[in-house]
Structure 1
Amino acid sequence: MNEKNNITMHLPKKTVTRSPAISFILPVYNVADYIPRCVESITGQITLDYEILLVDDGSTDDSGTICDELANSNEHIHAIHKPNGGLASARNYGLDHASGKYIFFVDSDDYLASDITQSLERLLSGPSYDIIKFDYLQNISSKQHRITSSVPSGVISDEAGKRKLICEALNNEHTFVLSAWSYIYRRKFIENEQLRFVSEREIGSEDFPFTLEAFLVARSILVIHEPLYVYDLRDGSLTSTYRTNIPEKYAKLYQLLKRYYHQHVGDEYDQSLREFYIWSTYGLCSTLEYRLHNKWGRTMKQASQAMKHLFNLPDFRQAILEHDCHGDSIKRKILITIMRHRWEWLLSSFYACKQQLGRLLHQ
């Protein structure tokens, strides 16, 4: 079945005929309790010409109905209904129908920070930038924390500055945010470079290649230290289901990034890409298997087998054997040694002891 033939669109007649300054693309899937809050964070404060594209990705709850109601109530809001295809698919359909000068991806269970109107007006009415990177606020257990980028504020438009930014992103994979919602993109830049999201069902993360490819081909990147977005880390919003085949999916991600970077700049970033692949894959897999295996009803034995599988995967094995440990922390050097020698029993024993100690301390 052709997915495009099953799309329905609710596009009210607009009184504003020129292209809006910004398009907000909101993928929607079974988040009926959160969509109104997200949309209100935009309509309640943005004074620029704008449009909101609500891309209902085959929701099975009331999300689709809510999208239509919101579209009926505001000429700036459009509802698009499509068969379920995942987050990447929903964002791509939003891009296909967006008409704004800039694109702002907003996850529909998050929302914009308050009092950002002046910041957006200043950013979007000034010089044009391919990418605008900003800070954000993180909600955890009703407490809000500001997350500031490690990259200095200012304009990056030369190759040396861009190389520093890309290496920062690749070498600090746990602290450098690559999520699409933490950037504003110039739409013509996305179109000219033919940037699109690759399905997270294939490569594990739709954000990583989109952002890292955009960095490489951007001519101008503005970094600001202003929080424009609220990331709502609610219970169940992450790691709510066990993710299968992560080693294989991240190997595909690694090969995709290598091909793209080789096509544009050769092997200049090979070491950084390899480091990104090793630590992003190990970090996610170790979290799922060692720390959260009980959440899925899995035993430590099953977790151990999954990690052994990772250490034996050809792409991962080649990466850790080729990795240059110079400059690594002691912790990372130890982990690389363990993975090279396939001493998974050391890791599983460590985490088992750590969990047992935690239980004893909380008795």
Structure 2
Amino acid sequence: MKLTVVVPTYNLGAYIKALLDDLAAQTVDFELWLIDDGSTGETATRLTEFVRGISDFHAVQLAHRGVSVARNYGLQHATGDGIVFIDGDDLVAPTFVAALSQGLAQGAVLAAVGYEWFRRPRSRGNNFIELDQREMFAQVSQHGTEIGGYIWNKAFSRAALLTARLTFDESLHIAEDYLFTASFVAQTPGKYVYLPQVLYTKRNRPDSTIHTATWRDRQTEDTVFKRIHALQRLIQ
């Protein structure tokens, strides 16, 4: 299964080079959309240079409207069997795309891999673990779980996304990833798989959204999680 990788960027400076190197080292072919959210530095130029001469790689610069707008652009233009989201300041293993492709190829509507961010997965193993819809919703609808509700360690079936008619809420700039993932799982019965290998590394950038969140942002996050918890009623 061929995947589409969507990477939103905004003024990432030197951080973007490491991810571009990781993308160049992937062990399988994939479609790539690098979507810059109106950077004022060199980020957009680096993206353009990276994709030059590669037919399946695309770089686009939008007006600055937020990460959800950038991700939705990627959703609209993706052609792969599955869609993967990566944050532009993070790192991925060479087998990241291949592993997620293998997970979806098992008939899953969503595949996830282990990540490192202050901690490593509690589970161990080289094989995918199968979860049902209810088990996956429990993982993605709250903080502190092994799989998490983040979008960046997962591949979503594009067919299932189209069926759910799901996009990112462009009015949010915090917890929008949790809402997207939980909404997908709540609306999508089927097989879910998880590979407990660390193939994604979250880097701590001082000026990232998570580190600059205000008290009002935290209130918004609480409201979003109330919306997420209400989604459980959709699961039969």
Distance 1:22 1:68 in 2: 21
Deviations 1:254-292 (A, max 9, x none): 453356444x35xx9xxxxxxxxxxxxxxxxxxxxxxxx
Do the aligned residues in 2 keep the contact of 1:55 with 1:80 (CA within 8 Å)?
Answer: yes
Do the aligned residues in 2 keep the contact of 1:153 with 1:224 (CA within 8 Å)?
Answer: yes
- Mapped pair 1:215 → 2:185: yes
Stretches of structure 1 lacking an aligned partner (at least 5 in a row): 1-19, 269-363
Shift in Å at residue 91 of structure 1? 0.8
Q: Please report the RMSD computed on the Cα atoms of aligned residues, expressed in angstroms.
A: 2.8
Q: Which residue of 1 aligns with 2:121?
A: 147
- Mapped pair 1:241 → 2:212: yes
Q: TM-score by structure 2 length?
A: 0.84
Distance 2:213 2:228 in 1: 25
Distance change in 2, residues 1:149/1:28 (3 Å): farther
Residue correspondence of structure 1 range 288-303 to structure 2 within 5 A: none
Match of 2:56 among 49, 73, 76: 76
Amino acid at match of 1:249: T
Residue correspondence of structure 1 range 223-238 to structure 2 within 5 A: 223-237=194-208
Structure 1 outlier segments of 4+, above 4 Å: 115-118, 258-262
- Mapped pair 1:256 → 2:227: yes
Match of 1:26 among 1, 4, 7: 7
Do the aligned residues in 2 keep the contact of 1:136 with 1:148 (CA within 8 Å)?
Answer: no
Q: Which residue of 1 aligns with 2:75?
A: 95
Distance 1:54 1:35 in 2: 11
Stretches of structure 2 lacking an aligned partner (at least 5 in a row): none
Q: Which residue of 1 aligns with 2:111?
A: 132
Q: Identity across aligned pairs (percent)? A: 23
Q: TM-score by structure 1 length?
A: 0.57
Do the aligned residues in 1 keep the contact of 2:179 with 2:228 (CA within 8 Å)?
Answer: yes
Q: Which residue of 2 aligns with 1:341?
A: none
Q: Which residue of 1 aligns with 2:157?
A: 186
Q: Which residue of 2 aligns with 1:107?
A: 87
Residue correspondence of structure 1 range 192-207 to structure 2 within 5 A: 192-199=163-170, 202=172, 204-207=174-177
Do the aligned residues in 2 keep the contact of 1:130 with 1:221 (CA within 8 Å)?
Answer: yes
